[in-house]
Amino acid sequence: MSEPVNQGVVVAKSRATYNEGYMPGFGNDFETEALPGALPVGQNSPQRCPYGLYAEQLSGTPFTAPRETNKRSWTYRMRPTVQHISGFERIELPLFRSAPTVGEDTLPLMPLRWDPAPIPGEALSFLSGMRTIATGGDVHTQTGYAIHTFAVTESMTDDYFYNADGEMLIMPEIGALRFFTEFGIVDIAPGEIAVMPRGVKYKVELRGAPQARGYICENYGQLLTCPERGPIGANCLANRRDFLTPVAAFERKDGTKCRLTVKWGGTFSQCEIEHSPLDVVAWHGNYAPYKYNLRHFSPVGPTLNDHADPSIFTVLTAPLGEPGTANIDFVIFPPRWLVSENSFRPPWYHMNVMSEFMGLIEGVYDAKPEGFVPGGMSIHNMMLPHGPDADAFYAASLSKLEPQKLDNTIAFMFETRFPQQLTKYAAELPTLQRGYPEVWKPLRNHFDPDRPEWNGE
């Protein structure tokens, strides 16, 4: 308890326990050092770096990108990263795919939905447990994306990875994960996301549970950023202060056999090195991993009538050149109040130029009370109709409209301009609900030209 102050100067003390190990703010210019004095002051590349470290820049955008979108960080490390690659050999990760995957599935054209895939009993690392569901665009032109699910039953100990093809937005649904990265340690649990930038090396460990499962969006295009708020103003939705970037951390294990795997142009290469590549003692810049707790999202919605477009729940967006058109929008459907009067409150029926992949982290999604459960997924592709199932439609048409809290639910959507091309793996999953389109069959034609008022029956 501090003494009351009547006069004089009071200086804030840092809250050591508040988000310890992280620095707040989306895309800030951070600086952090794991040893005192490791970070050069006032310059990037001194003649001799403190502690004999090497200075190295990692650029996430072209050197000449506009100031607002320019992303780069300076690392001060035991070895330059040229020593982290040596004698690469091609390896196969046949279920970790890249765009394009056009023409692999022969399913009839239809909305698609899957039950959760059980976590296999075998040893699966973050890499060998990756299963690509759909892709769009083309990894070779750095446009588009891949959507994966993952199951992890084994930590990476002396194995490391970096993805040259895109940034990875990772969302566990079961189990907690630790990402030990070149830039520090990022821990996430269900309800949180982490973003691993293109080119950043890391390993993935299980934290406190024998297995983990979840969803990933690999974004080949422009970097994910916070969406514009327009008339909403300076606050709400995902606030920049709630994004957390780790403080510097490094590991030393010289003489230990380690492996580095690289994803590059949709191929995988691996090499052996005698040290950990996580050797960054200090860094500064605005290109680094970050995490975000989806429960900190501050939703905005209709306060009188109707159901707004789902874009009001956009957490992060990876824009394309065309205004308002995204390579990837990451959208969530968080706990919120429904209060609109005289309104059909669930999502309306619609067709869309964008394509939608949905998953569920916890709870129930209001347009699909059954058949769409945590760990499951659905794809409503470009210009294919969808909307509430028959049960949801009649329940919403007849219910007494009082303020209602949708609680304990986190559904999410990866929405994209590029149609979602299913992989052979996803098309052949035994968890595919082949009868999914039947959920709309019980919708009746209620039209009666002699009855302008419909009572919902």
Residue 100 burial class via C-beta count within 10 angstroms: exposed 0-12, middle 13-18, buried 19 and up: middle
Q: Cα separation of 260 and 307, whole Å?
A: 48
Annotated catalytic residue 307:
yes
Nearer to Fe ion, 251 or 309 (CB): 309
User: Which one-letter DSSP state was computed for residue 407?
Assistant: -
Residue 88 or residue 344: which is nearer to Fe ion going by CB?
A: 344
Q: Under DSSP, is residue 296 helix (H, G, I), strand (E, B) or coil? A: helix
Shortest distance (Å) from residue 321 CB to Fe ion: 24
Of 21, 361, 74, which is closest to residue 186 (Cα–Cα)?
Answer: 21
d(CA 67, CA 179): 29
Minimum distance of Fe ion from residue 322's CB (angstroms): 20
- Closest separation between CB of residue 343 and Fe ion, Å? 18
Q: How far is the CB of 36 from Fe ion (least distance, A)?
A: 52
Q: Which is nearer to Fe ion, 192 or 356 (CB)?
A: 356
When the beta carbons of 267 and 325 are compared against Fe ion, the nearer one is 325
Cβ at position 113, least distance to Fe ion in Å: 13
* Binding footprint of Fe ion on the chain (CB under 5 A): 356
**Nearest to Fe ion of 39, 354 (CB atom):** 354
For the CB of residue 350, give the shortest distance to Fe ion in the complex, in Å.
Answer: 6
Cβ nearer to Fe ion, comparing 228 with 309: 309
Contact criterion met (CB below 8 Å) for 350 and 386: yes
Rounded Cα–Cα distance for residues 320 and 416 (Å): 10
Q: Note whether 204 and 147 are within 8 A (CB).
A: no
Nearest residue (CB) to Fe ion, 297 versus 357: 357
Q: Does residue 113 contact residue 316 with C-beta atoms inside 8 Å?
A: no
Closest CA to 287 of 321, 228, 329, 245: 245
Q: Are the beta carbons of 101 and 135 closer than 8 angstroms?
A: yes
Instruction: Name the residue among 55, 64, 124, 134 with its Cα closest to residue 101.
Output: 134
Residue nearest to Fe ion (CB): 356
Pairing of strands 159-163, 258-264: parallel
The two beta strands, 212-219 and 143-152, are: antiparallel
In the set 140, 307, 380, 446, the catalytic residue is 307
Which of 213-233 are b and which e, b meaning 16 or more Cβ less than 10 Å from the residue's Cβ?
bbbbbbbbbbbbebbeeeeee
> What is the spatial distance between Cα 261 and Cα 80, in angstroms, rounded to a whole number?
17
Catalytic residues, by residue number, are: 307
